[in-house]
Amino acid sequence: MIRILTSADRAGAWRSRALCAGHPERANWFGDFPEQTDRAVAVCCACPVREPCLEFALDTQEALGVWGGTTPKERRRLLKLRARAAGTAS
């Protein structure tokens, strides 16, 4: 199912509905340990605001942590794919 992001989503109103908000392990999700990343991604998979979270991370080119169920490496790849699709990749 494709969901259209609202202006409230783009403004960050989604943050309060995120499953990670207040999660006891959240501080560990910005490290380099695969087990921490895996736990963060698992939480994201069930999150109702995964899409606006990912869009925020892509829009701001967030370089750290798990956002929208993606790692920094995955987001870099998505940004490159988007740039190619838009015809702006070098």
Q: Name the burial class of residue 22, with classes exposed (0-12), middle (13-18) and buried (19+) by CB atoms within 10 angstroms of its CB.
A: exposed
Tens digit of each residue's pLDDT (9 = 90 or more) over 30-81: 767 788 888 899 999 999 999 999 999 999 999 988 999 999 999 999 999 9
pLDDT of 43 reads 92
- pTM higher than 0.95 for the full model? no
Please tell me the predicted confidence (pLDDT) of residue 1.
Answer: 43
Residue type, 21: A
Q: Which helix (H) or strand (E) holds 41?
A: helix 34-45
The ranges assigned to domains in the chain are: 13-86
Instruction: Give the pLDDT score at 2.
Output: 47
For the stretch 36-41, contacts whose Cβ atoms lie closer than 8 Å and that sit 24 or more positions apart, written own/partner, are 37/66, 37/71, 40/65, 40/66, 41/66, 41/69, 41/70, 41/71
